[in-house]
Structure 1
Amino acid sequence: MEKPSDVLTKKQILVATEETLRRFGIAKTSVTDVAKVLGVSHGSIYRHFNSKAELLEGVTEKWLNEKIIIPLSKVCLDSSLTGVSLLKRYIQTLVELKHDYARDDEEMFQMYTRVTEQSTDFIEQHIDHIVKQLADIITQEGITSDQPTQLARTLFHATARFHHPAHAYEWKNPKVDQEFSDVWALLEHGIY
């Protein structure tokens, strides 16, 4: 008969880690806690992930894909919007998702914030994915730009205050939605 660790998958570990993070928070979660949830030794976790930092990156990647990238990908396919309206909806969705998770999924958002601070290569890949989707919208929608990737990256950074986790404390301000609208109006005016 196989031991649980013999058939343990990365996906099972990531799901258990997310559950453990939600229960104990990032500061109190250990690899041993994750192993206990799975009924295995902590060494079984280290067969799949070299360190706690690598494990947290894996959980963050899973969370970002499920909670941010998949919904943003659906926006890209929304045929009811065109041009700058589609571009705005994409950025608005990014902003709304980050605000919602900062408020309603605090443990996972804190984990994401921590990984953002510590794993710049990983986060840069996430940003590159978003920039590529924005650049695709710019190109497909015929938005005037001879450098769609540069425009996409500029839009991403120009709106960072509204979606970067370092600014999450500012999102509680009741004026933040109006401030986003004001920034977007300026950006939209610059695009045309």
Structure 2
Amino acid sequence: MTTETLTAERILEATEEVLRRYGPAKATVVDVARLLGVSHGSVYRHFRTKAALREAVTQRWLERTEITLESITDAITPGGAEKLRGWLMALFEAKRHKAGDDPELFATYDTLARENSGVTETHLSILTSQLTRIVEEGVRAGEFTAPDPHRVAVAVFAATARFHDPTYAPEWQKPSMDDEFSAVCDLVVRGLRT
């Protein structure tokens, strides 16, 4: 047995490793406990069910992207257009790197995100809220026209889905993707300009 203090964070890290090894269909709480050198009961003291553990791992994974994008949203930069482009590019790059660097884990998290619709809905709401703030900032600066910034943010998110929705992950490594992304960003920004 381990002498290290068992924390929720350690359990989540181990769960991520187990998911990478076995995939979501075969990964068990017993596998996580074995990797940590503890009983499965110790894991259940932190996460009451396997579903709760899987939900927490999914939330942790999605929060990494949220934090990166929040720093862009909060940055003091001139111009809503550049901030919007930067935010969209950061989202695309985060998803593309996750899919390309560790495709098995990306597929696992895609499966978990679909299972944990509440976690996914919260994530999408946070991203839409960040976009709304960027559009509002562009409106205040006189750069964008948007009578309803939230509605515009939802539309921008939908219009750029090809660059962040995991359904499109197989296309993200195509040589033309950067040009296509740039063209869509140009179109979106032109649509928002005063």
Deviation, structure 1 residue 13: 1.2
Match of 1:124 among 104, 121, 124: 121
List gaps (5 residues or longer) in structure 2.
none
Identify the residue that residue 185 of structure 1 maps to in structure 2.
Answer: 186
Find the counterpart in structure 2 of residue 147 from structure 1: 148
163-172 vs 20-29, greater mean Cα deviation: 20-29
Asked if 1 retains the 8 angstrom alpha-carbon contact of 2:20 and 2:108, the reply is no
Matches within 5 A, 1:24-43: 24-43=22-41
Report the counterpart of residue 18 of structure 1 in structure 2. Answer: 16
Runs of 4+ aligned residues of structure 1 deviating over 6 Å after TM superposition are none
- Alignment RMSD (CA, Å): 2.1
TM-score by length of 1: 0.87
User: Residue by residue, what CA displacement relative to the aligned partner does 1:111-138 show, whole Å, maximum 9, x if unpaired?
Assistant: 2201222222210100000111111111
Distance 1:189 1:141 in 2: 13
Q: Deviations over 1:85-115 (max 9, x none)?
A: 1111101110011001101132331222012
Name the counterpart of 2:76: 79
2:50 maps to which of 37, 49, 52: 52
Identity of aligned pairs, percent? 41
Amino acid at match of 1:21: L
Residues 128-184 of structure 1: per-residue CA shift (max 9 Å, x gap): 001111111111232321211111111111111110111111212221121212222
- Report the equivalent of 1:159: 160
Give me the TM-score of the superposition, normalised by structure 2. 0.86
2:168 and 2:55 map into 1 onto residues whose CA distance is: 21
Give the corresponding residue for 1:70: 67
SS at match of 1:102: helix
Q: What is the alpha-carbon distance in structure 1 between the residues aligned to residue 182 and residue 51 of structure 2? A: 37
Q: Does 1:105 align with 2:102?
A: yes
Q: How many residues align?
A: 188
